[in-house]
Amino acid sequence: NTLANTIAHLRFGVVRRVWRKPGTLFSVAGPDGVGKSTFIEVLADRLAELQVKDQKAIRIEHFRPRLLPNINTLLTGKAETVAENHNPHRAMPVGTLSSIFRIAYYWIDYVIGYWGKLRSQAIRGQTIVFDRYFYDFVVDPRRTRLSLPGWVPRALLALTPKPDLVFFLDADADEIYARKQELPLKEIARQLDQYRVLVDRFPKRFVRLDASQTPDKVAADAIKAVVTRCYRKIER
């Protein structure tokens, strides 16, 4: 009995240190202008209340783990800057070889960033919410100047660590364009269609939210999904 209890205690200690609980890694998807930033702010508050955590324990990350520097920073040494009110498609796509290097480099950042940074943060009690994620390479490769066949990012997506849930903010393309004109109306509609394909393809991971509602109502629907999809999973 003593030996069995000792083994059980050691096993529990190992699991507690290496098991990431469901409901600690999320991402938010949608085209520019759909209201991701506002939604994430409200969602962070609701997650802190739900999980009984300090607001500082809810970490907001943009696009990727950033364990590796931006490619431009890597090549030029210049600090990475995020401009506001810009056209995300202003730069022309690069060639095939450069595209392969770019997507491979950033995919490595997702893999080692998850295992070397995100997972340990979640195990220590933090919750991470991404504004965009690897899915953007599938839906909007032009944003990162890629010019590759669609199967390439889809293949790498299959090998990428996934969030527990992906909140897709869906709305009418005309409504989104009225909020922000960084992308043409046709491009916004195309991205919405691509995200809807992902929702149908991965129904257990994606949560489709009506972004035409108030941020509080959208966040409330998101929290309901967290409880029903993540916490009931723990119970099972």
The predicted structure's pLDDT at residue 15: 63
Asked if residue 24 lies in contact with residue 125, where contact means CB atoms within 8 angstroms, the answer is: no
pLDDT tens string, the chain, 236 residues long: the values are: 988 888 887 877 666 666 788 899 999 999 999 999 999 999 999 999 999 999 899 999 999 999 988 887 777 666 665 555 567 888 888 899 999 999 999 999 999 999 999 999 999 889 999 999 999 999 999 999 899 999 999 999 999 999 999 999 999 999 999 988 889 999 999 999 999 999 999 999 999 999 999 999 999 999 999 999 998 755 54
How many whole angstroms separate alpha carbon 110 and alpha carbon 141?
Answer: 16
How many whole angstroms separate alpha carbon 105 and alpha carbon 66?
Answer: 11
For residue 209, list its beta bridge partners.
169
Count how many Cα atoms sit within 13 Å of the Cα of residue 135 in the half-sphere of its side chain.
28
The predicted structure's pLDDT at residue 207: 97
How many whole angstroms separate alpha carbon 113 and alpha carbon 49?
Answer: 27
The predicted structure's pLDDT at residue 180: 87
The predicted structure's pLDDT at residue 14: 67
Residue 73: what residue type?
A: T
